[in-house]
Amino acid sequence: MGLRALLYYNQRDIRLEDVAIPVPAPGQVLLRVTDAGLCQTQINEFIEGPFIISRKPHKRTGKSIPIITGHEFGGIVEKCGAGVENKNIIGSQVAVLPLMSCGTCYYCKKGSENKCDDMVMIGLLGENGGFAEYACVNIENIFPVQDRNLLTFIEPILIAIEAGCKINDIRDHKRICILGAGAIGLSAAAVFRDFFGAEVVINDILPNRLRRAKLAGFETLEKDKLQREYDIVIDCAGSSSYSKRAALIEGLDYLIRGGILLNMGTYFHPVHFIPSYLLISEQQIITSFSYTKADFQMLPEVLAKLQVDFSLVIERISLDDIIEGVYYRAEVDMDSFTRLVVVP
């Protein structure tokens, strides 16, 4: 028996194919995927990649292109492999935590699993992901979630927790402007506002994205109303064909002196800025990538505080329509959606 899956072969070469249903290895569960979110990273991989996706076989898994993409997903546990003791997990709804760190390298030993030397990222690097009817994942890479609408937001929420922890004096950096009202932008806004207690405003150059963010209860501002008044600007937009200036650089215009520009969006091409503008204003550009085990431990506490109904920004699309209805659409009409969720 086979299953439908989206395979990434190369830049602008993705194919919906039938592949064999995977069998859970020891320590793994078989998931029937119900929700798999589209992330801008995957669009950038499609248009300009492979960047994180690798042509070389992964050191730990041996896997390379073609790979089943989709790294923000979840579903229902259908089967357990050998060695999975908690058989009660069968039938549970779970989100997938895509990061599989090695546990032994310099970074893993000090709790920086997001910098692991031999990182595997389910659905991106070294392991098949969620744009498929079924997926096998390790038991430690799943997290039970009651609300189906949260399934594809667990990974961006973890990323936002990591970013928030990096700015450890966040309560002294009260005013935050987030550029980009996609899944990561809204997740970051929710975590920084509801958990870290910051004042958060969201901007997006796409009017309907901004409108939907407002509908979901976030404070929003159009670009012409943004001023140099924020302690922290977070670039959740990354590379975009919609804007002549990278959000990473434009964001500096809205930062007070001594402010922090936090980059969370992805770029696969150079951006230009004048370093001495940073110097004389003592602004910093910092980055935050993925999440760590410590962030995962904070997850239940953070989720309990979030005041967002993510169903307001989700549009579900069948896996059969993923190439035209999701990938192509995301390239040409980003304003028409906030969060596309593929339903296999």
Residues near Zn ion (CB under 5 A) are 101-102, 105, 108, 116
In the bound complex, what is the minimum distance in angstroms from residue 339's beta carbon to Zn ion? 30
In the bound complex, what is the minimum distance in angstroms from residue 159's beta carbon to Zn ion? 18
Query: Which CB, 29 or 108, lies closer to Zn ion?
Result: 108
Query: Which CB, 109 or 305, lies closer to Zn ion?
Result: 109
Query: Which CB, 60 or 175, lies closer to Zn ion?
Result: 60
Query: Which CB, 102 or 249, lies closer to Zn ion?
Result: 102
One-letter amino acid for residue 68 of the chain:
I
CA distance 136 to 301: 27
Query: Which CB, 114 or 283, lies closer to Zn ion?
Result: 114
CA angle 265, 245, 185 (to 5 degrees): 30
Give the bridge partners for 33, in sequence order: 75
Query: Which CB, 6 or 108, lies closer to Zn ion?
Result: 108
Helix (H, G, I), strand (E, B) or coil at 297: helix
Spell out the residues 6+ positions from residue 258 whose beta carbon is closer than 8 angstroms to its own.
281, 282, 283
In the bound complex, what is the minimum distance in angstroms from residue 101's beta carbon to Zn ion? 5
Query: Which CB, 110 or 171, lies closer to Zn ion?
Result: 110
In the bound complex, what is the minimum distance in angstroms from residue 140's beta carbon to Zn ion? 14
In the bound complex, what is the minimum distance in angstroms from residue 293's beta carbon to Zn ion? 11
In the bound complex, what is the minimum distance in angstroms from residue 113's beta carbon to Zn ion? 7
Query: Is the alpha carbon torsion for 290, 295, 299, 301 positive or negative?
Result: negative
**DSSP string covering 284-296:** EEEE--S--HHHH
Helix (H, G, I), strand (E, B) or coil at 185: helix
In the bound complex, what is the minimum distance in angstroms from residue 116's beta carbon to Zn ion? 3
Spell out the residues 6+ positions from residue 263 whose beta carbon is closer than 8 angstroms to its own.
235, 248, 285, 286, 287, 288
Contact between residue 69 and residue 123 where contact means Cβ atoms under 8 Å apart: yes
Query: Which CB, 133 or 162, lies closer to Zn ion?
Result: 162
Kindly report the backbone phi and psi dihedral angles of residue 137, in degrees, each rounded to the nearest multiple of 5, phi listed first: -135, 155
Q: How many CB atoms lie within 10 A of CB 118?
A: 17
In the bound complex, what is the minimum distance in angstroms from residue 105's beta carbon to Zn ion? 3
| Cα–Cα distance list, 270 to 15, 219, 246, 264 (Å) | 29, 31, 10, 16
One-letter amino acid for residue 338 of the chain:
T
Query: Which CB, 96 or 116, lies closer to Zn ion?
Result: 116
Following CA atoms 100, 101, 104, 107 in sequence, which dihedral angle do they give, to the nearest 10 degrees? -170
Please name the residue ranges forming H helices in 193-252: 207-215, 247-250
Spell out the residues 6+ positions from residue 326 whose beta carbon is closer than 8 angstroms to its own.
38, 317, 340, 342
In the bound complex, what is the minimum distance in angstroms from residue 114's beta carbon to Zn ion? 10
